[in-house]
Amino acid sequence: MLSTALQLLAVGLLWGVTNPFIRLGSKGIETVKDTGSRYRNFLSELRMIGSRLHYWVPFGLNQCGSLLYVWTLRSANITIAVPLANSLSFAFTAITGYLLGEQLPGKKIIIGTLLICCGSILMIYDKLLQEQQMQSITFD
């Protein structure tokens, strides 16, 4: 259970830390000139993003987080894994964004994120208690 929790922490970290860097790497895509057709516009955007290493490195790390998440779901309880990974991701995104000079989310969003993290911790604690009870029953 501890290894699963650490894996979910790593997923939240990989997802959360890379989000602001992906946002920075894709900055300016909205200014790509409309060249007349959707197809040409898409190719122009693809050429712009495709040439940016500072977009692809965090994107690759983000996808590694997704692979780890899928790997972790083999052994994790999905009712715990989903809120834990997502709340941690949001928290790490806010922290990283702030360190990169972005504005912190509002108080309500921060309080909500903290409540979700506390709820996830309580769910993990309950799961650990249930596992201990099951072990004590099997040994009696």
| Confidence at residue 113, expressed as pLDDT on a 0 to 100 scale | 77
Nearest to 88 by CA among 121, 127, 128: 121
To which H or E segment does residue 108 belong? helix 107-139
**Tens-place pLDDT, residues 34-93:** 667 778 777 877 777 777 788 889 999 999 999 999 999 998 888 778 888 888 898 898
**Tens-place pLDDT, residues 25-42:** 878 777 777 667 778 777
**Distance between CA atoms of residues 24 and 121, nearest Å:** 32
Q: Centre a 10 Å sphere on the Cβ of residue 116 and count the other Cβ atoms it contains.
A: 17
Sign of CA dihedral 25, 30, 36, 37: positive
| Confidence at residue 63, expressed as pLDDT on a 0 to 100 scale | 95
